[in-house]
Structure 1
Amino acid sequence: MAETLDIGDPPIRVLIKKSARARRFSLRISNVDGAVSLTMPKRAALRDAVAFAQDHDGWMRKHLGKRPDQIVPTFGGSILLDGVDVPITLGTGRKVQFEAGVLYVPGTGAQVPAKLRAFYKTLARDRLAEASERYAGLVGRRFSRITLRDTRSRWGSCTSDGNLMYSWRLIMAPRAVQDYVAAHEVCHLVEMNHSDAYWRQVAAVFPDYKAQRSWLKRNGQQLHRYQF
């Protein structure tokens, strides 16, 4: 189990990471989920790590205070879909429906997050599978399979054996962003790197990639605000 520290009052949970390459203490706050981690030299004393974290208590609270609040989807609230904030309303039947710009969710309020998660994952799989097929055709390659995950550090990946992985939270981003990530990963079927040749391949199939890449950098953490 990972070692953690509770610093200050109210406590801030700090994850300890020991590194043989680290030469000094360093703190990092994740832009995605606000997790705080402290990297320390492998042979350093834990008491020194505690002192370092305590000395930076104010810095941690300042930066954590700037993070957007977390959102639990519920009736009367709203959620992003295709880059648009859409209202959540009580629906009928057994399935979530998206009609006329409104998400209709059947069941109780407590069931809303899980039902929306399932709906979003299904929709994301359909969208990203279609986009992957389209861009794979453009680059003249085939992929093996697609998996969806709720990843924190990346929006997609491509393995050397042609497996594609995407974050299902991309369904909350604009359609052009979803297409860009699909194009980005499919192009790794041609170039398994981020060389100039790779980016030329991306530009060939998705000329507007820079704008969509910038959107993710600016707004990506907003997609992780929603707690399912």
Structure 2
Amino acid sequence: MNESRQLDLFIDAPPPEPTTPRPPARREPRASRGDATVPTVRPQSLASGTRWREVRASTQSIGFVLKRSRRKSIGLTINDDGLLVTAPNWVTLAQIDEVVIEKSNWILDKLSAWYDRRAQLAMADTHWQDGGSVPYMGRRIVLRLGDTLGRTRLLGAEFEPRDGDVLSLALPRDADHARIRDAAHAWLQQQARTWFEQRLLHFLSAQGLQLRRWRLSSAATRWGSCNSDGNIMLNWRLIHFERDIIDYVVAHEIAHLREMNHSKDFWREVGRILPGFERARDALRQHDPATLPLI
């Protein structure tokens, strides 16, 4: 049986000696919350069919977005807006509050980790509103709303953006922040798909290689991967970074088509495909996919 083996691109540096086994990375425990209060902030705006609610747990108040649905049980999710509670229409508010209180330790731990990540986000200072800005290919472009008759488009060179270029979203000016975020994310993913494919074809052609297939991913732990079947995945969030960093990840995964390991031969192959890749690798090493926005 042919077992498909997948290699992940993490932010670790290559091993200095491939013949020496590396010990597993030691995970440092996250500091305890202690008596610190975890903020639960009402979102900039609420989507249709949702409401904001707060409940007092044993240690602090917990605010959350409540959404009614046809599901059969109460669901708790941490997303870009904090805590989302989805509950059946027949469940009372008292029952919902009881579940939140019962799960408060879990909720506060998850929210604490979520806020820790947001403190390092590439988009931490993004406000999903008219005039907000978002990182795109190493530059910050500005969101503009109001052109509801047009389509979402960048007013500038699509793949050579400049700071301050305008991303015109086909949304009314009073659109809520969730719609703005979703529209911007959809456009970023579309751009990622187009640009990544161009770069894949460029490097594959130069190396005389063929790719079975590739696709975008939204993995929270890796920027790219390649398995032994020759399939490549590239994290769409790379579109936030400059082109040199994108090229490094593409070259890294293409190198795995010849070297399914991280040996000296592998890194030599990366250097052959993309000379001087080290600068981009070192820059990317400072970023963890988990610290970038969810979609």
> Could you say which TM-score interval applies, normalised by the shorter chain?
0.5 to 0.7
Q: Write out per-residue CA displacement over residues 37-89 of structure 1, whole angstroms, 9 at most, x where no aligned residue.
A: xxxxxxxxxxxxxxxxxxxx9xx89x949933644532211000110011111
1:90 counterpart residue number:
145
CA–CA distance in 1 between the matches of 2:289 and 2:224? 17
Amino acid at match of 1:77: G
2:186 counterpart residue number:
118
Amino acid at match of 1:95: R
Shift of residue 177 of structure 1? 1.0
TM-score (norm 2): 0.53
Shift of residue 204 of structure 1? 0.8
What is the SS of the residue equivalent to 1:165? strand
TM-score (norm 1): 0.68
Question: Relative to 1, partners in 2 of residues 1:155 and 1:91: Cα closer, same or farther, differing over 3 Å?
Answer: farther
1:77 counterpart residue number:
132
Shift of residue 95 of structure 1? 2.3
Task: Show the 5 A alignment for 1:124-163.
Answer: 124-163=192-231
- Give the conservation status (yes or no) of the 8 Å contact 2:128–2:180: yes
What is the SS of the residue equivalent to 1:88? strand
Aligned partner (choices 165, 170, 195) of residue 106 of structure 1: 170
1:204 counterpart residue number:
272
Amino acid at match of 1:162: G
Task: Show the 5 A alignment for 1:1-228.
Answer: 8-10=35-37, 64=116, 67-68=119-120, 70=124, 71-92=126-147, 93-100=149-156, 101-108=165-172, 109-110=175-176, 111-218=179-286, 220-221=287-288, 224-226=291-293, 228=295
Give the helix-richer structure, 1 or 2: 1
State how many pairs are aligned: 178
Q: Write out per-residue CA displacement over residues 82-123 of structure 1, whole angstroms, 9 at most, x where no aligned residue.
A: 100111111523421101321111214322111111111111
1:28 counterpart residue number:
none
CA–CA distance in 1 between the matches of 2:139 and 2:278? 21
Range moving further from structure 2, 88-97 or 165-174 = 88-97
Q: Tell me, which stretches of 5 or more residues in structure 1 are unaligned?
A: 13-32, 34-56
Q: Select the structure of larger CA radius of gyration.
A: 2
- Give the conservation status (yes or no) of the 8 Å contact 2:221–2:288: no
CA–CA distance in 2 between the matches of 1:72 and 1:226? 12
- Give the conservation status (yes or no) of the 8 Å contact 1:96–1:103: yes
**Which gives a bigger RCO, structure 1 or 2 (Cα 8 Å, sep 6+)?**
2
- Give the conservation status (yes or no) of the 8 Å contact 2:117–2:291: no
- Give the conservation status (yes or no) of the 8 Å contact 1:139–1:187: no
CA–CA distance in 1 between the matches of 2:181 and 2:272? 39
CA–CA distance in 2 between the matches of 1:180 and 1:65? 24
Identity %, equivalent residues:
28
- Give the conservation status (yes or no) of the 8 Å contact 1:172–1:223: no
Amino acid at match of 1:106: A
CA–CA distance in 2 between the matches of 1:68 and 1:166? 21
- Give the conservation status (yes or no) of the 8 Å contact 2:213–2:230: yes
Amino acid at match of 2:277: Y
Shift of residue 8 of structure 1? 4.6
CA–CA distance in 1 between the matches of 2:182 and 2:117? 28
Amino acid at match of 1:104: S
Question: Relative to 1, partners in 2 of residues 1:66 and 1:88: Cα closer, same or farther, differing over 3 Å?
Answer: closer
Question: Relative to 1, partners in 2 of residues 1:141 and 1:113: Cα closer, same or farther, differing over 3 Å?
Answer: same
2:29 counterpart residue number:
none
Say what the alpha-carbon RMSD is for the aligned residues.
3.2
Shift of residue 9 of structure 1? 4.9
